[in-house]
Structure 1
Amino acid sequence: MSQIIYKITPQALWREAEAKGRFTGAPIDIADGFIHFSTAAQARETAAKHFSGQTDLLLVAIDATRLGDALKYEVSRGGALFPHLYGVLELNAALWAKPLPLGDDGIHQFPALEG
């Protein structure tokens, strides 16, 4: 599995996490009992399916090796394995957070992704 996974999150929610030093998840994460992530190959589809038309988003790159046994790859959309974190995301696992703007075509414009 890739060592870099990605979280798409509203900028305000991530800034709140930065102030606290930890990310406890978006409302959907809290409801599901784990923090949803995507691999590089899954991130664009995740943005289109769950964040269509949303602005003020960030794409956060996470070093999966820092998450330990709380990170599980589980079957989700289309039978693919998605990374899920059963716990709090400590911000020292974040490699970077970059804007995820909408293009003129209404599709999110991604930076280069690793993994």
Structure 2
Amino acid sequence: MSNEFVYHIVSAVDWANWADKPTYEAASLRSEGFIHLSTDKQVAGVLERYYQGVPDLLLIQIDPARLTHELTYEVSTNNDHFPHLYGPLDKDAVVSVEAIR
């Protein structure tokens, strides 16, 4: 896969809980072993499938070249290859944080 940006959708509250730390860990890192990410083309579908009516969401833009943990593209929903981060997200890899909706 190319080295284009990848994205993570998170509630503003969850992101704020990690504000004073150099890394971020989604709950899925503990429960599934990785952080769910999306390509630019996958974000709209992920929002539609999993975040209908969820308020105060943020879209975290990530530069894969700056990650220190393994980023793997794996088959998931609709046989599409989704990026999964096997470790905490280094905030140095975050390019931007934008409110959704």
Separation in 2, partners of 1:11, 1:29:
18
Q: Please tell me whether the aligned partners of residues 23 and 90 of structure 2 are also in contact (alpha carbons under 8 angstroms).
A: yes
Residues 56-97 of structure 1: per-residue CA shift (max 9 Å, x gap): 110010001112560000111111110000001010100010
| Segment of structure 1 superposing worse, 12-21 or 40-49 | 12-21
CA distance, structure 1, for counterparts of residue 8 and residue 39 of structure 2: 9
**More off after superposition, 54-63 vs 14-23:** 14-23
CA distance in 1, matches of 2:86, 2:69: 9
CA deviations 1:29-80 (Å, max 9, x no partner) are 4311100000000000001111110011100100011125600001111111
State the TM-score, normalized to the length of structure 1.
0.81
SS at match of 1:73: strand
Counterpart CA distance in 2 for 1:85 and 1:28 is 10
Unaligned runs of 5+ in 2: none
Q: What is the alpha-carbon distance in structure 2 between the residues aligned to residue 9 and residue 63 of structure 1?
A: 17
1:2: how far off? 4.1
SS in 2 for 1:97: strand
Hey, what does 2:22 align to over in structure 1? 21
Residue 10 (1) aligns with residue 14 (2)? no
Paired residues in the alignment total 100
Counterpart AA for 1:92: D
Match of 1:37 in 2: 37
Structure 1: runs of 5 or more not aligned:
102-115
Matched, 1:89 2:89: yes
- Determine the C-alpha separation between the residues in 2 that align with 1:19 and 1:69: 20
Which amino acid in structure 1 is aligned with residue 28 of structure 2? Answer: I
* 1-structure distance, mates of 2:39, 2:66: 15
Q: Normalization by structure 2: what TM-score?
A: 0.91
Which has the larger share of helix?
A: 1
The residue number in structure 2 matching 1:109 is none
